[in-house]
Structure 1
Amino acid sequence: MSYKNGVVGYREGILANRSIVKKDNYALIEPDGIVKNAIVGFENCDVTILSSPKIGASFVDYLLTIKEDGKNHLGFGGEGIEVFFYIFEGNVKVWNDDKSEKLTDGGYIFSPAGKKLYFENIGDTPAKGFLYKRLYDRIEGYEAHTVIGNSNDLEEIPYEGMTDVIIKDFLPAANNFGFDMNFHILSFKPGASHGYIETHFQEHGAYIFSGQGMYNLDNDWVPVEKGDYIFMSAYCLQAAYGIGRDENFAYIYSKDCNRDAKL
């Protein structure tokens, strides 16, 4: 069963699941079968840990439902840990030592290392979000800073010149070595695709919030859809086609950047 789809008890058919986990390579995690995790500080929240070092990631991704009166007043992140929080729907107040803001659909906050993130649901319905943490790879002379915004206000950029594939960049990481990661939204119109199969040093955690696609994961073509989560390790071959009829295939994802490989 899964708390995400409300299916409990025996199934009518045999037990089956689309999820694929190849540790240190890639993973597809579908909503059916995911479970809640009890974590200190998260009050009246349903939390699922998606990627983590146990799967081969250098970061941790969480799927989060903040119920009415749900909150984290203990703080998330802190010394050496950077945090990114995205709100799919709902009304959530967020703050750290620098800023306080009310976020709604598409709102986000990046809280740099050393500044804990706090939040609470200020709406009368559950809020749904995507949460990320990572150890900050510090370089002397450079620092990141708090960023708050809304994805609906971000510039739509044709991905490598392709007008039917659109990317949005959340953080001012380009040419700014204070940031060692960024978040993006990539959106494909039906039939659109990457221009080539990518192979690179960076890794991704991606949550699909719209549409359907066919994803190449280490040369395995895998069907994916809204509600699925994908982990892609460093050097995992990757590319996607948008499929379906009317809805764009779109996902939010993280990518480490601005750092040399370490020996």
Structure 2
Amino acid sequence: MTRSYYAPHGGHPPQTELLTGRAVFTEAYAVIPKGVMRDIVTSVLPFWDDTRAWVIARPLSGFAETFSQYIMEVAPGGGSDKPEPAKDAEGVLFVVEGEAVLTLDGWRHDLKPGGYAYMPPGVHWALRNESKAPVRFHWVRKAYEPVDGIHAPEAFVTSDQEVKPVAMPGTDGKWSTTRFVDPSDVRHDMHVNIVTFEPGAVIPFAETHVMEHGLYVLEGKAVYRLNNDWVEVEAGDFMWLRAFCPQACYAGGPGRFRYLLYKDVNRHMKLKGYLGK
């Protein structure tokens, strides 16, 4: 099945455009709409050639605590042979537009839209754009939390097209999740999945849980419940939800609503002070 994913292209609005927008930043959640992702807010990164990035999440007091997320744009001929500076960082790449060549432990992988790669900490990887058009992809980074007696997971490459979505029970397939990692595999301390809602599908209760979320809308539109607010979102928007922020969703259509979802999983809660003292 052919998939389409929204990718920002930058640019600037004209001086005649109204300032009013949909950006929201609260203690419980944030919404970064697609219209915010302009040329002026891009970043350049060490050891990345002909590349710019929209940083849509970073560890920050009152914002993302467990992860960072970039939308990378690599021009033809650009890329990096030394992409990850942190030895303890794991990462996920998800391509939304264009083509990239990922070299992972010496093996070449051609990534196209929907392409997905997981890199554990310490693995050697490089990425280059050998095509004639820019490639745009998400890069989710997290400091891996090792556990004594449990080995870190291996690197792997797959795609949205290769992984069959799993329907949520009792939804007749109207709400499903494309899981790139087995939820019971405790080697993994983060999941980056794709959630799909068919028109009319809902999250029928206000989810309130310990996992922090980053949600990038790949396709469609919906009304999302964030804490006490109903917020309209569409393809290209990003949402951050802190742990325990109540959340729900109604996908009104006319097409499918899909988003790339980050969450931290499978680890004990960090405790301050000393147990038993």
Of the three residues 96, 101, 120, the one matched with 1:112 is: 120
Q: For residues 205 and 36 of structure 2, what CA distance do their matches in structure 1 show?
A: 32
CA RMSD of aligned residues (A): 1.6
1:50-69 matches, within 5 Å, as 50-54=56-60, 55-69=63-77
Q: Which runs of 5 or more residues in structure 2 are unaligned?
A: 1-7, 272-277
Deviations 1:52-92 (A, max 9, x none): 11223311000112211120112225411101101112211
Cα distance in 2 for residues equivalent to 1:9 and 1:52: 29
Question: Aligned partners of 1:165, 1:176: CA distance in 2, in Å?
Answer: 23
Asked whether the equivalents of residues 197 and 256 of structure 2 are also in contact (C-alpha less than 8 Å), the reply is: yes
The equivalent of 2:23 in structure 1 is 19
Deviation, 1:9, is 4.2
Code of the aligned partner of 1:233:
R
1:117-146 Cα distance to aligned partner (Å, 9 max, x none): 320112221111111100001101212110
Counterpart code for 1:215: Y
Q: Distance in 1 between matches of 2:250 and 2:16?
A: 32
Q: Which runs of 4+ in 1 moved over 4 A?
A: none
The Cα shift of 1:5 comes to: 4.9
User: 2:4 maps to which residue?
Assistant: none
Identity of aligned pairs, percent?
A: 26
CA contact (8 A) 1:78 1:115 kept: no
- 1:112-261 counterparts in 2 under 5 A? 112-142=120-150, 143-162=152-171, 163-172=173-182, 174-245=183-254, 247-261=255-269
Q: How many equivalent residue pairs?
A: 257
Q: CA deviation at 1:33?
A: 2.4
Tell me which residue corresponds to 2:275. Answer: none
Q: Is 1:10 aligned to 2:15, yes or no? A: yes
Q: Aligned equivalents of 1:109 and 1:77: distance in 2?
A: 18
Deviations 1:146-194 (A, max 9, x none): 011011110121123311112100123x222211111111111111111
Runs of 5+ in structure 1 lacking a partner?
none
Distance 1:147 1:127 in 2: 20
Counterpart secondary structure, 2:206: coil
TM-score, length-normalised on structure 1?
0.92
